[in-house]
Amino acid sequence: QVKLLQSGAALVKPGASVKMSCKASGYTFTDYWVSWVKQSHGKSLEWIGEIYPNSGATNFNEKFKGKATLTVDKSTSTAYMELSRLTSEDSAIYYCTRWTYYGLFDYWGQGVMVTVSS
């Protein structure tokens, strides 16, 4: 069955960077876009961007350009997202999801809680 297993929670200092992972299994990793979604505490969902593992092509929400960097390691079926120059506004849960046709997210990771605090 399809699974997206994300890395553990992170506590990081303001101004630092954090890199999280999303290991896919149960499907051909290179056939589907992987998207990342932010959920701030008690709030709604924001689409950050996506990466196509086969080619490395990316698309971003303008709001997150310069904030998020997306990469993949095809040999381990793992997607990564690095967030830079962190502030308290970046404290949130970050989900990786599998994006499929008609623009829907059919599988979700368990989420990574990032806390930015000195």
Binding site for other proteins (CB under 8 A): 35, 43-47, 59, 61-63, 95, 99, 102-111
Please give the order of strands across the beta sheet that includes 3-6: 3-6, 18-25, 78-83, 68-73
Closer Cβ to other proteins, 17 or 59, answer by number: 59
Distance CA 31, CA 12 (A): 33
What angle (nearest 5°) sits at the alpha carbon of residue 20, between those of residues 15 and 22?
A: 160
* Closest distance of CB 81 from other proteins, Å: 16
Closer Cβ to other proteins, 43 or 75, answer by number: 43
Closer Cβ to other proteins, 17 or 110, answer by number: 110
Q: How far is CA 42 from the centre of its chain?
A: 19
* Closest distance of CB 67 from other proteins, Å: 14
* Closest distance of CB 61 from other proteins, Å: 4
Among residues 80, 96, 114, 91, the alpha carbon closest in space to that of 36 is found at 96
Residue 65 tokens, joined: 């350009």
Closer Cβ to other proteins, 53 or 109, answer by number: 109
User: Going by DSSP bridges, is the β-strand pair 10-12/112-116 parallel, antiparallel, or unpaired?
Assistant: parallel
* Closest distance of CB 16 from other proteins, Å: 26
